[in-house]
């Protein structure tokens, strides 16, 4: 039924074809894609992805071809259909947790069950008592209760203590009254709430005997189980279209003095005694600490993959796209240059390619450390008086000290990693020139959905204050002579103090471990500078926020460089079968990431005397340029190792087979509903669409 004339169908792109160009790229490089993929994801992980992919591709509801065209309501409707189907498949194929995560990655759009499946279930599980598990969790696991996590309000997000929703204890009838006193107290941004959920975990200020006790979680039914209409005195809806995330119904929620029973307050850590009306204090907050650390480490690791999508697309496209002959090429040399050969394209893409690995390894290392700290903690718990203790660097309990360190570093890394991925995706998109602006590039829509990661789980700027606070605290304890081996932070700060006067002479151009040391040095230098401002000069906290931001950034960059280096240095690449040639390229990527960063942040490295001006000059003029040249031939294969199926990328520019132009043309001419419309273009005529075959097509099916 296509309207495309035969002569158009006969056309081929001008040669050389994209497929040939990518084949050449792949032939030129000795990087072993399979080895590297296995190293990144393990064989099992890759097989899992393949298996789930086949299941999804077989179901028409997951077909992506109209995603880029539809309006908000249609998109949501389709997303709901997909969410249901995925749940049905989950049961049919007995999906594991990992299978489901992979399925979500492949579908690549936030779905209406998103917050039910994450925060709602986790909160019920972690914060509910056994009795509450019985009442709420069981039904939630069966998707009879569908829920969300309602913390943020119109007026408050970062400052959780400022929440205005109240939950007042009524001792007479043993209930709580949930109430929204102002417009700004409306819950806002809550995923899965707008249209989907029938229950919510609501964070509200607990008031007992007129005394505010701070925010606490309550499970509240919000919609009727039959009609799905809001219950009386509850006002709930979707907050409207957004930059991205439009397949998710982020919602608002208001209560007009709604009474809920005593069991609604999740009471594992704090509770109101129904008989006496006495409030019992929360136990150690360190458990929450743990979950947050885990969530943030996941964001760090995912940031690598998020960015890798953009990098894969841009790398392949820039190898297929040819524009201009080389200015210095001899007359006789015909043919245009692949734009990947221009150094201004390389300097944008290749450091990002290196960054994808850097983030992935760092995230992985964080997750491993987290697991280690958890098992240490439970050991400690066996020895000492139980896990109910605070986590501060002054205290000497290996497990929780590790965790405190991890917690702080994960804040900084979450901030830097998601910032880097966000910025990097846009760089990739722009590097694709005009075609990058098309939705079919696949980068723009992906970027839009990823953006909120910079804001949630701690606003990226705000989080850096926590890192700074921790580093200052640690620096004070180091000055007081704490054991350097307490954790990595105490170690680098102590090392800096010890060598401060003799100075550093790091051979960053010749020696990889010196690169790591130079990053540690700069972070330590900035820590003690900040400490001077705060403790000696007594500067107000707020006047130092910019310094703190820089400090956190420096520390996180050190962490990334260190983890990248240690991953390559460890025995695991060899154990997992990575050959020396591939490993050699990985070392070059490490150097590119590190030296490019060093060059970008030159003045801090220079001011801290970690390196000399001359070294920085050389890093840029020689080392980085040379690395770009050396890595360039391997770019396509390195991107291939990220093993994105075309179905996941959903991109004309990033196709594995390089059929960029054919695919762009196909989507534009055959999948595009606008081309089924004939319009009346003349200003004097009120007719807009003369004929709309798209509508006709819809009703026929």
Partner 1 sequence: MPDFTDTLRPAGPGGPAILAKERDSSDVPVEQLAQHLFPSNDFLGRQERIVPILENNKLFDKSKQQNLSRPERYRLGLARAKQLRRYADQYNWEDEDLNVAQYLCDDVSPYMVHYSMFITTVREQGNEEQRSYWLPKIEAMEAIGCYAQTELGHGSNVRGIECQARWDPAKGEFELHSPTLTASKWWNGTMGRTANHAIVVAQLLVPKSAESKDYVNHGPHPFIVQIRDTQTHKPLPRIAVGDIGPKYGYAPMDNGYMLFDHFRIPHSAMLSRYSWVDPNTCTYSKPANPAVVYGSLTAVRASIIMHARLIMARAVTVAVRYTCVRRQFQDRDSNDKRAPEMSVLDYPTVQIRILPLLATMFALHYTGAAMQSLYENTRAQIDQGDFSKLAVLHAQSSGLKSLCTELAANSVETCRRALGGHGFGGGSGLIQLNNDYLSKPTVEGDNWMITQQTASYLIKRMSAAVAAKTEPQDEVEAACKEWLHQGHDKRSSPLQIFDSDEQLVEAFHRRSRYLTYQAYIEREVKNRSWNSLLIQLRKVSHAESQSILVTNFHKALQNPSSNLPPPLKAHLRKLFQLFTLYTLDSEARDFLKASAVSDEDLDRLPDRIQQLMAEIRPHAVNIVDAWKIPDFLLDSALGRYDGRVYEDLFNRAHRLNPLNKVTFNPYYTSDEIEMGGGDGELRRIVAKL
Coil, strand or helix: which one is 328?
coil
- Classify residue 690 by its DSSP letter: E
Instruction: Choose between 75 and 360: whose C-beta lies nearer to partner 1.
Output: 75
Smallest separation (angstroms) from partner 1 to the CB of 569: 30
Q: Quick one: how far is CA 259 from the chain centroid?
A: 38
Instruction: Choose between 251 and 387: whose C-beta lies nearer to ligand FAD.
Output: 251
- Residue whose C-alpha is closest to residue 105's, from 298, 363, 344: 298
CB 253 within 8 A of CB 190: yes
* Cα-only R_g, the chain: 28
Sole window of 233-241, 471-479, 502-510, 522-530 interacting with partner 1 (rule: CB under 8 A) = 233-241
Exactly one of 19, 374, 609, 669 binds partner 1 (CB under 8 A); which one? Answer: 669
- Residue 419 contacts ligand FAD per CB under 6 A: no
Sole window of 302-310, 397-405, 454-462, 496-504 interacting with partner 1 (rule: CB under 8 A) = 454-462
Exactly one of 433, 484, 579, 633 binds ligand FAD (CB under 6 A); which one? Answer: 433
Instruction: Choose between 190 and 308: whose C-beta lies nearer to ligand FAD.
Output: 190
294 binds, among ligand FAD, partner 1, none (CB under 5 to 8 A by kind): none
Sole window of 90-98, 336-344, 490-498, 592-600 interacting with ligand FAD (rule: CB under 6 A) = 336-344
Beta bridge partners of 338: 322
287 binds, among ligand FAD, partner 1, none (CB under 5 to 8 A by kind): none
509 binds, among partner 1, ligand FAD, none (CB under 5 to 8 A by kind): none
Q: How far apart are CA 208 and CA 174, in angstroms?
A: 12
- By residue count, the chain amounts to 701
Q: Name the one residue in this structure whose structure tokens are 């709604």.
A: 258
Look up residue 288 and give its two tokens. 């929450």
CB 516 within 8 A of CB 561: yes
- Residue 543 contacts partner 1 per CB under 8 A: yes
Q: Rounded to the nearest 5 degrees, what angle is found at the Cα of 146, between the Cα atoms of 140 and 148?
A: 105
CB 567 within 8 A of CB 361: yes
Smallest separation (angstroms) from ligand FAD to the CB of 347: 11
Q: How far apart are CA 604 and CA 168, in angstroms?
A: 52
Instruction: Choose between 241 and 390: whose C-beta lies nearer to partner 1.
Output: 241
Smallest separation (angstroms) from ligand FAD to the CB of 667: 16
CB 287 within 8 A of CB 152: no
- Residue whose C-alpha is closest to residue 321's, from 646, 33, 669, 652: 652
Q: Contact letters (x/-) for ligand FAD, 178-197, by CB under 6 A?
A: -----------xxx------
Q: How far apart are CA 320 and CA 353, in angstroms?
A: 17
- Residue 70 contacts partner 1 per CB under 8 A: yes
- Residue 321 contacts ligand FAD per CB under 6 A: yes
616 binds, among partner 1, ligand FAD, none (CB under 5 to 8 A by kind): partner 1
175 labeled part of a ligand binding site: no
Q: Contact letters (x/-) for partner 1, 477-496, by CB under 8 A?
A: --------------------
Exactly one of 23, 104, 284, 455 binds ligand FAD (CB under 6 A); which one? Answer: 455
Q: Restricting to residues 175-194, name those near partner 1 by CB under 8 A.
A: 180-186, 188-189, 194
Q: How far apart are CA 517 and CA 561, in angstroms?
A: 10
Q: Is the preceding omega at residue 92 within 30 degrees of 0, hence cis?
A: no
415 binds, among ligand FAD, partner 1, none (CB under 5 to 8 A by kind): none
Q: Please state, in angstroms and as integers, the Cα–Cα distance from residue 507 to each residue in 504, 525, 614, 626, following that order.
A: 9, 18, 12, 18
Beta bridge partners of 482: none
191 binds, among partner 1, ligand FAD, none (CB under 5 to 8 A by kind): ligand FAD
3-state SS of 246-263 is CCCCCEEEEECCEEEEHH
- Residue 431 contacts ligand FAD per CB under 6 A: yes
Look up residue 535 and give its two tokens. 């403790």
Q: Restricting to residues 523-582, name those near ligand FAD by CB under 6 A.
A: 545
Exactly one of 88, 209, 437, 688 binds ligand FAD (CB under 6 A); which one? Answer: 437
Q: Quick one: how far is CA 271 from the chain centroid?
A: 34
- Residue 112 contacts partner 1 per CB under 8 A: yes
Buried b (16+ CB within 10 A) or exposed e, 454-466: beebbebbbbbbb
- Residue 657 contacts partner 1 per CB under 8 A: no
- Residue whose C-alpha is closest to residue 217's, from 290, 113, 122, 114: 122
**Parallel/antiparallel/unpaired status of strands 187-190 and 251-255:** antiparallel
Sign of CA dihedral 118, 121, 126, 127: positive
- Residue 238 contacts partner 1 per CB under 8 A: yes
- Residue 158 contacts ligand FAD per CB under 6 A: yes
Q: How far apart are CA 366 and CA 410, in angstroms?
A: 8
Q: Restricting to residues 387-446, name those near partner 1 by CB under 8 A.
A: 426, 429-431, 433-434, 436-440, 444
Total number of residues that touch ligand FAD (CB under 6 A): 33
151 binds, among ligand FAD, partner 1, none (CB under 5 to 8 A by kind): ligand FAD
Catalytic residue among 109, 153, 164, 457: 457
- Residue 633 contacts partner 1 per CB under 8 A: no
696 binds, among partner 1, ligand FAD, none (CB under 5 to 8 A by kind): none
Exactly one of 61, 214, 283, 324 binds ligand FAD (CB under 6 A); which one? Answer: 324
Q: How far apart are CA 661 and CA 647, in angstroms?
A: 17
- Residue 622 contacts partner 1 per CB under 8 A: no
Find the distance separating the first CA and the last CA of the chain, reported in whole Å: 13
Beta bridge partners of 238: 251
Sole window of 151-159, 202-210, 361-369, 377-385 interacting with partner 1 (rule: CB under 8 A) = 151-159
CB 557 within 8 A of CB 599: no
Instruction: Choose between 494 and 597: whose C-beta lies nearer to partner 1.
Output: 597
Active site residue 457: yes
524 binds, among partner 1, ligand FAD, none (CB under 5 to 8 A by kind): none
674 binds, among ligand FAD, partner 1, none (CB under 5 to 8 A by kind): partner 1
Look up residue 270 and give its two tokens. 């704090």
Instruction: Choose between 13 and 392: whose C-beta lies nearer to partner 1.
Output: 13
- Residue 532, Cβ neighbours under 10 Å: how many? 12
- Residue 233 contacts ligand FAD per CB under 6 A: no
Instruction: Choose between 210 and 686: whose C-beta lies nearer to partner 1.
Output: 686
- Residue 295 contacts ligand FAD per CB under 6 A: no
Q: Is the preceding omega at residue 382 within 30 degrees of 0, hence cis?
A: no
- Residue 271 contacts partner 1 per CB under 8 A: no
678 labeled part of a ligand binding site: no
Q: Phi then psi for 257, rounded to 5 degrees?
A: 50, 65
Exactly one of 41, 62, 169, 245 binds ligand FAD (CB under 6 A); which one? Answer: 245
Smallest separation (angstroms) from ligand FAD to the CB of 686: 27
Q: Name the one residue in this structure whose structure tokens are 């697309």.
A: 313
Sign of CA dihedral 434, 438, 442, 447: positive
Q: Name the one residue in this structure whose structure tokens are 């097509």.
A: 697
Known binding residues for FAD are 152, 191
Catalytic residues: 457
Known binding residues are 152, 191
**Footprint of ligand FAD (CB under 6 A):** 115, 149-152, 156-158, 189-191, 245, 250, 321, 323-324, 339, 342, 344-345, 431-435, 437, 452, 455-456, 459, 461-462, 545
């Amino acid at each position: 039924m296509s309207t495309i004339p035969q002569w158009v169908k006969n056309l081929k792109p001008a040669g050389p074809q994209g497929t040939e160009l990518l084949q050449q790229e792949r032939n030129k490089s000795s990087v072993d894609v399979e080895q590297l993929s296995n190293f990144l994801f393990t064989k099992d992980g890759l097989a899992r992805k393949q298996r789930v992919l086949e299941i999804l591709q077989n179901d028409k509801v997951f077909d992506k071809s109209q995603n880029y065209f539809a309006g908000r309501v249609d998109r949501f409707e389709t997303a709901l259909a997909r969410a249901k189907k995925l749940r049905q498949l989950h049961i049919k194929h007995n999906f594991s947790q990992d299978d489901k995560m992979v399925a979500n990655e492949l579908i690549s759009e936030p779905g209406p069950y998103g917050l039910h499946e994450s925060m709602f279930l986790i909160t019920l599980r972690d914060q509910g008592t056994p009795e509450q598990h019985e009442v709420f969790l069981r039904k939630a696991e069966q998707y009879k209760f569908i829920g969300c996590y309602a913390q943020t309000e119109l007026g408050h997000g970062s400052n959780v203590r400022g929440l205005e929703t109240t939950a007042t204890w009524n001792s007479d009838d043993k209930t709580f009254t949930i109430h929204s006193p102002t417009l700004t107290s409306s819950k806002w941004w809550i995923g899965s709430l707008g249209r989907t959920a029938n229950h919510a975990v609501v964070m509200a200020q607990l008031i007992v005997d007129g005394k505010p006790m701070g925010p606490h979680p309550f499970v509240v039914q919000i919609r009727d189980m039959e009609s799905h209409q809001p219950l009386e005195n509850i006002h709930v809806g979707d907050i409207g279209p957004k930059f991205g995330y439009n397949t998710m119904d982020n919602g608002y929620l208001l209560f007009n003095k709604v009474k809920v029973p005593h069991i609604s307050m999740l009471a594992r850590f704090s509770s109101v005694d129904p008989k006496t009306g006495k409030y019992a204090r929360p136990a150690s907050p360190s458990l929450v600490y743990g979950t947050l650390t885990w969530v943030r480490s996941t964001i760090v690791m995912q940031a690598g993959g998020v960015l890798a999508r953009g990098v894969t697309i841009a790398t392949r496209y820039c190898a297929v796209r040819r524009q201009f002959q080389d200015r210095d090429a001899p007359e006789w040399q015909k043919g245009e240059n692949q734009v990947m050969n221009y150094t201004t394209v390389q300097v944008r893409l290749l450091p990002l390619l290196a960054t994808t690995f850097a983030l992935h390894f760092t995230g992985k290392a964080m997750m491993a450390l987290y697991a280690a700290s958890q098992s240490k903690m439970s050991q400690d718990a066996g020895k000492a008086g139980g896990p109910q203790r605070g986590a501060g660097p002054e205290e000497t309990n290996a497990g929780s000290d590790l965790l405190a360190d991890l917690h702080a570093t994960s804040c900084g890394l979450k901030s830097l990693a998601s910032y880097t991925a966000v910025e990097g995706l846009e760089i990739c998109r722009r590097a694709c020139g005009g075609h990058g602006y098309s939705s079919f590039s696949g980068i723009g829509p992906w970027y839009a959905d990823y953006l909120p990661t910079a804001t949630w789980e701690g606003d990226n700027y705000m989080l850096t204050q926590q890192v700074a606070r921790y580093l200052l605290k640690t620096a004070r304890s180091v000055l007081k002579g704490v054991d350097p081996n307490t954790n990595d932070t105490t170690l680098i700060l102590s090392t800096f103090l010890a060598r401060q006067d003799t100075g550093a002479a790091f051979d960053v151009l010749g020696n990889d471990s010196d690169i790591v040391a130079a990053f540690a040095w700069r972070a330590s230098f900035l820590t003690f500078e900040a400490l001077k401002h705060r403790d000696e000069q007594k500067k107000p906290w707020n006047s130092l926020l910019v310094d703190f931001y820089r400090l956190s950034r420096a520390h996180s960059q050190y962490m990334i460089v260190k983890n990248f280096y240690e991953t390559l240095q460890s025995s695991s690449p060899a154990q997992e079968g990575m050959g020396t040639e591939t490993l050699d390229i990985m070392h070059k990527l490490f150097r590119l990431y590190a030296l490019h960063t060093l060059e970008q942040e030159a003045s801090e490295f220079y001011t801290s005397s970690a390196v000399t001006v001359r070294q920085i000059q050389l890093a840029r003029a020689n080392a980085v340029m040379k690395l770009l040249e050396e890595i360039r031939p391997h770019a396509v294969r390195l991107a291939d190792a990220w093993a994105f199926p075309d179905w996941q990328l959903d991109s004309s520019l990033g196709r594995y087979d390089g059929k960029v132009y054919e695919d762009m043309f196909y989507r534009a001419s055959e999948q595009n509903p606008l081309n089924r419309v004939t319009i009346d273009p003349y200003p004097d005529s009120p007719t807009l669409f003369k004929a709309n075959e798209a509508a006709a097509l819809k009703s026929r099916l």
